[in-house]
Amino acid sequence: MGAENYPLLPERRSVEVVTISLGYQIPNFTYPGGVETLFDTVKAQALEAEASGFDTVLVMDHFYQLPGIGTPDQPMMEAYSTLAALAASTSTIQLSALVTGNTYRNPAALAKTVSTLDVISHGRAILGIGAGWFELEHEQLGFDFDTFTERFEKLDEALQIIHPMLRDERPEFTGKWYRVHGAMNVPRFRDSIPIMLGGQGERKTFRLAARFADHMNIIAPIDDLPRKLQVLKQRAEEIDRDPATLPTSYLASVALVESQAEADAVLARIPEDRRSRAFVGTAEVLAERIGNDIIGAGVDGIIVNAPTNGHVPGVVSALGEALAPLVR
């Protein structure tokens, strides 16, 4: 489908630029101590991130644990309840889902949810959003999964509702999947809340990002990064948007270790299809590789998760101290 088939939004209003130079995502909630100390461990990671140079803390929007990290029955905190609790536990760090599954929520309700998070956090919320993909969750929990094309149709319609609702507007919209009539969204802490899209789809995701997003998080093999960045630039130019107004970040999984033998053992446990985005090594090795492979490719920022040992006290601090100089 050509760019001429994508209707343009009205002229983009001024929006506070969302900067995610260094983000820390928490994807794993299986910790020693069990449920009694679960949130305490999550909170401790967020506070370490805030104190060590990270500018954003993010959680996954899933109800089951993902393949490659664990089994579906392992603990998974609901995203926006967790973010609200972190908003009350932190003071400066931005908060977001990476990324909200559009299929799980009515878009007007989602706009209300993220606006409430922005109020609780005094203006630190970011709406990260994507089309949704984990079929098992949909099947077992009763969410409509639909086809790949239909999920992106839904995301397109949802953004036509959410985008104005996060910008002090009252949209009128009737689509194939959703409708609103003068939808109100109060209270708001800010007149505009940034929107981040996540993914790697060049035909659909990148076109939606060019139209609606203030930030694009790219999730793709390292070798594909230069081409992804070029295509994203083209998508912005197709609708006469300055590509410089759409900053990017990249999601990488890291494991902080102290020796090569430990690194080899960790790599052996990572599924082969995820190793291209896995960085394992000492703090110095991680910083060198991420600097060369990600920042060096032209990405504006980096988001890391540490599913194997991020919960260990001191690991997030060490990551922040090693990586923050790359993006200052």
Instruction: Name the residue ranges covered by the structural domains of the chain.
Output: 3-10+19-327
- For 62, 69, 76, 79, 239, the CA distances from 73, given in Å and listed in that order, are 12, 12, 8, 17, 44
Token pair for 189:
């802490």
pLDDT of res. 168: 92
d(CA 252, CA 319): 12
**In this structure, are residues 249 and 301 in contact, taking their beta carbons and an 8 Å threshold?**
yes
pLDDT of res. 11: 47
Token pair for 305:
């998760």
* pLDDT tens, per residue, the chain with 328 residues: 344 444 444 444 445 556 799 999 999 999 999 999 999 999 999 999 999 999 999 999 999 999 989 999 999 999 999 999 999 999 999 999 999 999 999 999 999 999 999 999 999 999 999 999 999 999 999 999 999 999 999 999 999 999 999 999 999 999 999 999 999 999 999 999 999 999 999 999 999 999 999 999 999 999 999 999 999 999 999 999 999 999 999 999 999 998 888 888 888 877 776 777 789 999 999 999 999 999 999 999 999 999 999 999 999 999 999 999 999 8
Residue with structure tokens 């759409």? 246
Give Dmax (Cα) for the chain: 60
d(CA 33, CA 178): 43
Q: Residue type for 69, please?
A: I
pTM of the model: 0.93
Which ranges constitute the DSSP H helices of 147-294?
Answer: 148-165, 205-212, 225-238, 260-269, 283-293
Cα torsion angle, 188, 193, 197, 202, sign: positive
pLDDT of res. 261: 85
3-10+19-327 topology per CATH? TIM Barrel (3.20.20)
Nearest residue to 128 (alpha-carbon basis) of 4, 212, 39, 203:
212
pLDDT of res. 18: 62
pLDDT of res. 270: 75
3-state helix, strand, coil in the chain (%, to 5): 45, 15, 40
Nearest residue to 45 (alpha-carbon basis) of 325, 326, 320, 322:
320
**In this structure, are residues 283 and 306 in contact, taking their beta carbons and an 8 Å threshold?**
no
For residue 185, what is the DSSP state?
-
Q: How many CB atoms lie within 10 A of CB 276?
A: 12
pLDDT of res. 272: 73
